[in-house]
Amino acid sequence: MSGPWDQRYAGDRYFYGTEPNAFLLEQIGFLPPGGQILCLAEGEGRNAVHLASAGFLVTAMDQSAEGLRKAGDLARSRGVAVDLRRCDLADTWLGRECWDGVVAIFAHLPQEGRRLMHRRVVEALKPGGVVILEAYAPEQVGRGTGGPPDPALTMTPGQLREEFEGLDIDFLQQCERPVLEGEGHTGVGAVVQLRAVRRQAAVRSRWRLRKILGP
């Protein structure tokens, strides 16, 4: 489970910096105050540590032992606690109705693993829970400013709308913006951004409809 990500995160320098993602900062007020938040593919911990500093109870998952080591160092340097879990997100159950928020910032997986992870996010959110996501869009490939080299690892608004079925999507757009995060994200990027909520009444009505009509 280590491989290239452990190599990327080796050493003391933070590849994506130590400051939180700009879209997360814009959306953080929509997360339930003091709630239990899950950060996916969290790497070196910049977003998880910021959320913990803001009073949330944070769990961070990533496949890289080196990334999680540095996330722990960053948390200690800021005087906060983050529950760090090493796992393969393509093969990890996230629980059922146990998170007040899920944050996925540049959590790029192969398509089938990503679809499964996103369906598990829907299942794992409590009623009223919020998912905040930013990822690179296919148009980012070849720019040289960060992100995966394969468009199959990127995301589109249409894919996200389908994969987060069962949630109410309050915000979804594809845009270009400066992404300046350490040496890993270094310029204008084509990104897709999402904020969605699991509203209890909507979830129950969809469940009843599926029970009547079938899958």
What are the phi and psi torsion angles at 155 (to 5°)?
Answer: -135, 155
Task: Please count the structural domains in the chain.
Answer: 1
Structure tokens at 24: 């997360």
Which string of DSSP letters, residue by residue, matches 21-58?
PHHHHHHGGGSPTT-EEEEES-TT-HHHHHHHHTT-EE
Q: What is the CATH number of the domain that holds 84?
A: 3.40.50.150
Structure tokens at 110: 């192969």
Calpha distance 89→60 (Å, rounded): 11
53 vs 15, 39, 78, 201, CA distance in Å?
21, 14, 8, 32
Look at residue 114 in the predicted model and tell me its pLDDT.
97
Look at residue 201 in the predicted model and tell me its pLDDT.
54
Each of the 215 residues of the chain gets a pLDDT tens digit; together they read 458 999 999 999 999 999 999 999 999 999 999 999 999 999 999 999 999 999 999 999 999 999 999 999 999 999 999 999 999 999 999 999 999 999 999 999 999 999 999 999 999 999 999 999 999 999 999 999 999 999 999 999 999 999 999 999 999 999 999 999 999 999 999 999 999 999 875 444 444 445 445 54
Domain hosting 196: range is 4-213
pTM of the model: 0.91
Look at residue 207 in the predicted model and tell me its pLDDT.
46
In angstroms, how far is CA 192 from the centroid of its own chain? 12
Look at residue 3 in the predicted model and tell me its pLDDT.
83
What SS3 state is found at 194? strand
Calpha distance 168→147 (Å, rounded): 27
What are the phi and psi torsion angles at 22 (to 5°)?
Answer: -65, -40
